[in-house]
A and B are shown apart, each in its own frame.
Chain A
Amino acid sequence: MNDSIYLSIQNSSRFKELVSKRERFAWILSAIMLGLYAGFILLIAYGPQVLGHKISPDSSITWGIPLGVGLIVSAFILTGIYVRRANGEFDELNKAILKEAQQ
């Protein structure tokens, strides 16, 4: 692999577009994940009674159960959202960049 290809990719506008789009997306999703988790932790710290509150008077299920399970599910959904866009849109863009550079 010669250096000029790397240099031309580095200067290509598509590459800059890919990097900025993908990095922003990754940081946003990271922030959402950490935010959800931090929110959950704050609830445990300052409102454990909220998590221990029953979802309806005649049920023994507390709010903590759907919220906790929801957090597990959201970790999976967030990875799914990232993989979908990265393996689709971003990989297409990536292919175009490599094709352009090798011409």
Chain B
Amino acid sequence: MIRRLLATLAFGVFAPAVWAADALTGEVQKQPLNVAAILMFVAFVGATLCITYWASKRNKTAADYYSAGGRITGFQNGLAIAGDYMSAASFLGISALVFTSGYDGLIYSIGFLVGWPIILFLIAERLRNLGKYTFADVASYRLGQKEIRTLSASGSLVVVAFYLIAQMVGAGKLIQLLFGLDYHVAVILVGILMCLYVLFGGMLATTWVQIIKAVLLLSGASFMALMVMKHVNFDFNALFSEAIKVHPKGEAIMSPGGLVKDPISAFSLGLALMFGTAGLPHILMRFFTVSDAKEARKSVLYATGFIGYFYILTFIIGFGAILLVSTNPDFKDAAGALIGGNNMAAVHLADAVGGSVFLGFISAVAFATILAVVAGLTLAGASAVSHDLYASVIKKGKANEKDEIRVSKITTIALAVLAIGLGILFESQNIAFMVGLAFSIAASCNFPVLLLSMYWKKLTTRGAMIGGWLGLISAVALMILGPTIWVQILGHEKAIYPYEYPALFSMIIAFVGIWFFSITDKSKAADDERALFFPQFVRSQTGLGASGAVSH
């Protein structure tokens, strides 16, 4: 009974099969060169480079560079968050899950969404009131700068690195599939473009790339859903009845199906997904681009609305693909499988409802989507190095702004080179576990330290540091000793840690570690840190003294 509950509980948050889709793994066939798609993509790149040029003229201070000067409105930031969160692979992956299993796709997307209201209720406004450029500003607010910033920057960099590898490899494969470009060309192109956006445009250009991408993706998906509904005369009943008729699973597509073979792995990944979102450095950084807590709250409202709307669209698109793609022999190979794999369901549907020009548009949007996500990641990684490690740890808060931004730009170039190199190195590796690992680390290191620094008075530097590192190390170690790396990649016979994902255990280790090493900390410094909780609490609640709040 309990096992079954755990299994479904976990399944509600994600499905392992689709999780893999977020990294877009497996063999893909290179498609013929798609001219319409390339032209539209060139138009997108041209427009975003103009924006980058415009942004570079306006970027004068460190605040401009890291947080767009706090001048982004709640509505714009909501769109940008949605742009950061709706990855190309989740668009293709969720519609593919609906295409193959129907209702399960909806269960999956709901799991992605329910974390957002919780971020609003518990984290968003305190984060905005306490922080300046990175979430480490908040975590280290009353604690030892050196220790906590080093910890947070390490946590951020590890998360960014794994996430970047997954995105780069996914990008290379997707572009091969959609545009017919060579894998290496695609990876290098993505690396150079993201580098240009971040290097010259900073947060302002990155934000606008994400906004444009979100608008394009939402309009493209809206158009597809509209055409699907037009096909069935705007009658949902007809949409579902026709899908039941042509789908091999018949009526089963209208109710929960799907089994999870290992409930603890599943539950563990579910936790990582929910709380990892609240520990992703590039998502948290978005809250500093608005002027105050009021706009931060609005950001989450709009983001939740856009993301929820998008998931409803992908549900209709998946069913539309059952009707219009699975019945059309043009989209299938000799064996009757979908050309390019099931992840191509939405792309083929674009062709079916809008012809080759619209197909080109959707392909270009998918590419733009990847660019927006990697640009956000790179900026978060560069900020962790320049703002946390360089300015606060090495220079002890006495760095001048020019040097700090220069370090950030050098890091951006280094990250781009690293991303291209790793993207090529991991081309034929199994990288499906990397997004899961990134979320697990975010949930086991960044999230516990951030949450307790805002909510728990008795937290001390020693506790946060030891617990945070324990979370980070145990997440990585359990992952290495688990079935994915120990058995599949290193070729050992049996996994030492039997479950796929570490978060369930590594989060417990982190929280217990932080608690134990904080309450047993009897040093003078620890008492001072506890005394500093109340001024921090007042600021977190009222915004008194918050950065950017006094400028107007």
Nearest opposing residue in chain B for A25, CB measure: B121
**Those of B93-131 within 8 Å (CB) of chain A:** 103, 106-107, 109-110, 113-114, 116-118, 120-122, 125
The verdict on A30 contacting B255 (CB below 8 Å), with A45-B5, A71-B110 known, is: no
Q: Quick one: which of A9, A29, A52, A76 contacts B254, CB cutoff 8 A?
A: A52
CA distance A27 to B312 in the complex (A): 27
Digit string of A1-35 for contact with B (CB within 8 Å is 1, else 0)? Answer: 10101100110000100110010001101100110
Question: Does B457 have its Cβ within 8 Å of any Cβ on chain A?
Answer: no
Question: Does B545 have its Cβ within 8 Å of any Cβ on chain A?
Answer: yes
Question: Does B332 have its Cβ within 8 Å of any Cβ on chain A?
Answer: no
CA distance A40 to B236 in the complex (A): 22
Contacts of B328 in A (CB 8 A): none
The verdict on A30 contacting B121 (CB below 8 Å), with A15-B538, A52-B254 known, is: yes
CA distance A10 to B110 in the complex (A): 39
Contacts of A62 in B (CB 8 A): 103, 254-255
CA distance A27 to B118 in the complex (A): 9
Contacts of B12 in A (CB 8 A): 37, 40-41, 44
Does the CB pair B121–A29 fall under 8 Å?
Answer: yes
Nearest opposing residue in chain B for A56, CB measure: B237
Nearest opposing residue in chain A for B300, CB measure: A79
Q: How far is the CB of B67 from chain A (nearest CB, A)?
A: 20
Does the CB pair A75–B254 fall under 8 Å?
Answer: no
The verdict on A64 contacting B255 (CB below 8 Å), with A3-B535, A83-B120 known, is: yes
CA distance A9 to B535 in the complex (A): 9
**Those of B1-19 within 8 Å (CB) of chain A:** 4-5, 7-9, 11-12
Question: Does B541 have its Cβ within 8 Å of any Cβ on chain A?
Answer: yes
Does the CB pair A61–B121 fall under 8 Å?
Answer: no
Q: Quick one: which of A9, A34, A37, A60 contacts B237, CB cutoff 8 A?
A: A60
Does the CB pair A75–B543 fall under 8 Å?
Answer: no
Tell me the interface secondary structure of chain A in the complex.
helix
Does the CB pair B110–A37 fall under 8 Å?
Answer: yes
Question: Does A103 have its Cβ within 8 Å of any Cβ on chain B?
Answer: no
Does the CB pair B117–A91 fall under 8 Å?
Answer: no
Interface size on B, residues (CB 8 A): 51
Question: Does B308 have its Cβ within 8 Å of any Cβ on chain A?
Answer: yes
Interface range on chain A: under 10, 10 to 19, 20 to 34, or 35 or more?
Answer: 35 or more
Q: How far is the CB of B236 from chain A (nearest CB, A)?
A: 6
Max chain B CB contacts within 10 Å: which of A27, A38, A59, A68?
Answer: A68
Question: Does B534 have its Cβ within 8 Å of any Cβ on chain A?
Answer: yes
Q: How far is the CB of B515 from chain A (nearest CB, A)?
A: 21
The verdict on A87 contacting B294 (CB below 8 Å), with A44-B8, A51-B256, A52-B254 known, is: yes
CA distance A71 to B117 in the complex (A): 12
Question: Does B85 have its Cβ within 8 Å of any Cβ on chain A?
Answer: no
CA distance A75 to B298 in the complex (A): 14
Does the CB pair A72–B110 fall under 8 Å?
Answer: yes
Contacts of B312 in A (CB 8 A): 69, 72
CA distance A27 to B305 in the complex (A): 21
CA distance A79 to B119 in the complex (A): 10
Does the CB pair B120–A82 fall under 8 Å?
Answer: yes
Question: Does B542 have its Cβ within 8 Å of any Cβ on chain A?
Answer: yes
- Interface set of B (CB-CB < 8 Å, partner A): 4-5, 7-9, 11-12, 103, 106-107, 109-110, 113-114, 116-118, 120-122, 125, 236-237, 240-241, 244, 251, 254-256, 294, 297-298, 300-301, 304-305, 308, 311-312, 315, 534-535, 537-539, 541-545
Further contacts, 7 of them, CB under 8 A, given A1-B544, A15-B542, A64-B255: A19-B541, A64-B254, A65-B240, A69-B106, A82-B121, A86-B125, A94-B543
Subset of 6 A-B contacts with CB under 8 Å:
A18-B542, A41-B9, A52-B256, A69-B312, A79-B116, A94-B543
